[in-house]
Every structure is written in C-alpha cells, then in structure tokens.
C-alpha cells in the first residue's frame, strides 16, 4: 500500500525536522488518516510502508526516512535522485 501525504503540521522552524504530524490518503481505497512523524517513520522502516507526494503539476516524489547524525529521524521527499522540499510545500494543519 502506498499513501499520499496531503498535509503536514510543523512545530517551530519551517524545516523537515520540525514536521510533527502528517495527513494522508490511500488512493487504492479512499481511506484517509493522520499520524505523527514517528509513526510514519516506524511504518516505513518496519512495515515496508510507502508514501509519496504529488505537486501541482502531478510530479510524484517518494517520502523517505532521513537518519541524521544527531537528533530524531525525519521525513523528506526525493524525486529522480534529488532531495526536495515537497513536504514543506503541502498545506498546513
């Protein structure tokens, strides 16, 4: 199952590390939901979960887990081998 991330909540600075909650839709069955960043990270890492975003032009970017040298794991998008800011461009809740 792949979910589409549709919105985020950011606490503090506008940076990937400060995304604390994400809203999503499962296009396969129309189900929607929301989870904390930690829950999505765990789902991707332990349950082989897949997530992505689509920009206004329909370009898809995969949501991947970043493991920094210090601090908590966070999520960031990558498309065509390039890290990008698609999550930060999503609507805020």
15-44 confidence digits (pLDDT tens): 999 999 999 999 999 999 999 999 999 999
DSSP 45: H
In a domain, 21, yes or no: yes
pLDDT, tens only, 49-86 = 999 999 878 889 999 999 999 999 999 999 999 999 99
In a domain, 37, yes or no: yes
Domain holding 35, by residue range, is 2-84
In a domain, 90, yes or no: no
Helix/strand/coil percent split, the chain, to 5: 15, 45, 40
Q: Scan for tokens 């396969």, then name that residue.
A: 28
In a domain, 26, yes or no: yes
Nearest CA to 51 out of 22, 30, 71, 72 is that of: 22
Nearest CA to 26 out of 47, 57, 51 is that of: 51
The model carries a pTM of: 0.94
């Amino acid at each position: 199952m792949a979910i589409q991330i549709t919105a985020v909540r950011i606490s503090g600075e506008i940076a990937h590390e400060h995304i604390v909650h994400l809203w999503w839709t499962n296009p396969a069955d129309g189900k929607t939901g929301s989870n904390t960043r930690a829950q999505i990270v765990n789902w991707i890492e332990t349950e082989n979960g897949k997530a992505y975003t689509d920009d206004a032009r329909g370009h898809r970017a995969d949501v991947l887990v970043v493991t920094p040298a210090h601090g908590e794991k966070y999520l960031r998008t990558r498309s065509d081998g390039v890290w990008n800011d698609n999550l930060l461009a999503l609507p805020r809740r």
